[in-house]
């Protein structure tokens, strides 16, 4: 089945998704909608697509669509795509409020369409084998730092960066989060750019997240402690140290999925659309759960002053 694919948003991630649709076999890349048509043309035309002047016009020409616009309009545009009967891949976060995320999930279920969300780090965990670990973790410590950027200034570092690691914590946790505490620093524009948070789960599992958009260089590490040992991951070096007895894949970085997590995530979405897979890598319910904890962290920040 050949699927017609399009992209909403002509920013950096819109370009990434357009290139995925243009390269994947069995997909005809149609084009891009953006509120700035010249940007849409710069992304779409070199890939054989076209720029669309209106969202409805794009939705009328596609079977699947990626929402890669600013986070504040993710839910609105995803709901428009669902109303048009289109399958949707939404970049993270799926929305900026849990209520809107639930609206997306419910609308997709009612319409019978697939909604996937761009928590692509799940693909890396799958390649390592961590999602199949036979023990429940005791502690997760995640650090995700990067230099200043004008990208994603519409949301805090929690919804921009931390939500990735929140999704990973939820993916390996055996229970729901119970409490969240946080402290951080705002940038001059009032947006939280540096945040340290601790989430406690009903099982006793604790997840600690440290994110910054004010670092001198990128730094991404994670340590997961289990009863039998720990796994320490350096996402930048694409290596890990494992003192558990788990049969993890030391060559995960050489797998096609780990070399192109976005591509693997998009391919998983398309496989679910075609009925070749039971679900995408991250579905709407999981994306909503990650957003729920992220919003709890933001509320803890506000409560802490």
Q: Please state the φ and ψ torsions of residue 64, each to the nearest 5 degrees.
A: -130, 150
CA distance 156 to 192: 5
Sequence ranges of the chain with CATH classification 3.30.360.10? 121-253+290-304
Average pLDDT value for residue range 235-250: 95
pLDDT band at 9 (very low <50, low <70, confident <90, very high): very high
Q: Of 100-109, 133-142, 151-160, 216-225, give the lowest mean pLDDT range.
A: 151-160
Which one-letter DSSP state was computed for residue 158?
A: I
State residue 213's pLDDT score: 94
Q: Of 76-85, 122-131, 145-154, 241-250, give the lowest mean pLDDT range.
A: 145-154
State residue 62's pLDDT score: 98
For the chain, give the mean pLDDT: 96
Tokens (6 digits) for 58: 């794009």
List the CATH code of the domain at 121-253+290-304.
3.30.360.10
Average pLDDT value for residue range 81-94: 98
pLDDT band at 189 (very low <50, low <70, confident <90, very high): confident
The CB-side HSE value for 63 (13 A sphere, CA atoms) comes to 13
| Residue 248, Cβ density class (10 Å: 0-12 exposed, 13-18 middle, ≥19 buried) | middle
Q: Looking only at Cα atoms, what is the longest distance across the chain?
A: 57
For the segment(s) 3-118+263-282, the CATH number from 3.20.20.70, 3.40.920.10, 3.30.365.10, 3.40.50.720 is 3.40.50.720
Cβ contact 76:241 at 8 Å = no
Sequence ranges of the chain with CATH classification 3.40.50.720? 3-118+263-282
Identify any residues that bridge with 66 across adjacent strands, giving them in sequence order: 7, 89
Residue 151 has pLDDT above 90, yes or no: no
Tokens (6 digits) for 214: 């004010």
């Amino acid at each position: 089945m050949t699927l017609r694919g399009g992209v909403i948003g002509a920013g950096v991630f819109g370009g990434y998704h357009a290139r995925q649709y243009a390269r994947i076999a069995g997909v005809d890349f149609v084009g891009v909608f953006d509120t700035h048509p010249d940007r849409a043309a710069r992304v779409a035309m070199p890939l054989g697509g076209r720029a669309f002047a209106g969202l409805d016009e794009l939705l009328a020409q596609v079977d699947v669509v990626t929402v890669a616009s600013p986070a504040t309009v993710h839910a609105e545009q995803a709901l428009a795509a669902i109303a048009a009967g289109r399958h949707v891949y939404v970049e993270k976060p799926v929305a900026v409020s849990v209520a809107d995320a639930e609206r997306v999930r419910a609308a997709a279920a009612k319409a019978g369409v697939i909604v996937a969300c761009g928590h692509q780090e799940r693909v890396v965990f799958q390649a390592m084998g961590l999602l199949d670990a036979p023990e429940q973790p005791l502690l997760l410590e995640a650090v995700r730092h990067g230099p200043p950027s004008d990208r994603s200034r519409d949301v805090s570092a929690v919804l921009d960066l931390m939500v990735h690691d929140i999704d990973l914590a939820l993916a390996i946790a055996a229970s729901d989060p119970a409490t969240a505490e946080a402290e951080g620093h705002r940038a001059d524009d009032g947006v939280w750019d540096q945040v340290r948070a601790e989430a406690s789960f009903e099982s006793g599992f604790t997840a600690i997240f440290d994110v910054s958009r004010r670092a001198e260089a990128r730094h991404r590490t994670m340590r997961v402690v289990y009863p039998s040992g720990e796994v320490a991951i350096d996402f930048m070096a694409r290596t890990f140290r494992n003192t558990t007895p788990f049969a993890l894949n030391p060559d995960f970085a050489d797998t096609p999925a780990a070399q192109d997590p976005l591509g693997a995530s998009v391919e998983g979405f398309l496989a679910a659309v075609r009925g070749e897979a039971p679900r995408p890598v991250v579905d709407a319910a999981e994306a909503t759960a990650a957003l729920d904890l992220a919003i709890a962290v933001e509320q803890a920040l506000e409560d802490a002053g």
